[in-house]
Amino acid sequence: MKAKKVLVIGVGRFGDSLIETLWQARAEIIAVDADPEQVEQVKDKTSAAFVGDATDPRVLSAIGADLVDTAVVTFGEDFEATVLCVTTLRKMGVKDVVARAATMRQAEVLRMVGASRVVQLEHEMGHRVAADLVMPVASDLLDFAHGVRVVPWIAEGKMVGKTLAQAELRKRWEIHVLGVRPQGAGGKKLEVPGADYTIAAGDTLLIAGAEASINRFVRESE
**Close Cβ partners of 78 (under 8 Å, ≥ 6 residues apart):** none
Nearest C-alpha neighbor of 155 from the set 109, 110, 89, 200: 200
Q: How far apart are CA 23 and CA 8, in angstroms?
A: 12
Average pLDDT, the chain: 84
* Residue that is last in its domain, among 88, 119, 150: 119
CATH number, residue 41? 3.40.50.720
Average pLDDT in the 174-195 region?
A: 79
pLDDT at 172 over 60: yes
Q: Which domain holds residue 212?
A: 123-220
Query: What are the two backbone dihedrals, phi and then psi, of residue 94, each rounded to the nearest 5 degrees?
Result: -75, 120
Average pLDDT in the 87-115 region?
A: 92
pLDDT at residue 81, as a whole number: 93
pLDDT at 76 over 80: no
* Residue that is last in its domain, among 119, 137, 161: 119
Same domain, 115 and 127: no
pLDDT at 56 over 90: yes
pLDDT at residue 137, as a whole number: 46
pLDDT at 36 over 60: yes
pLDDT at 121 over 80: no
* Residue that is last in its domain, among 89, 119, 149: 119
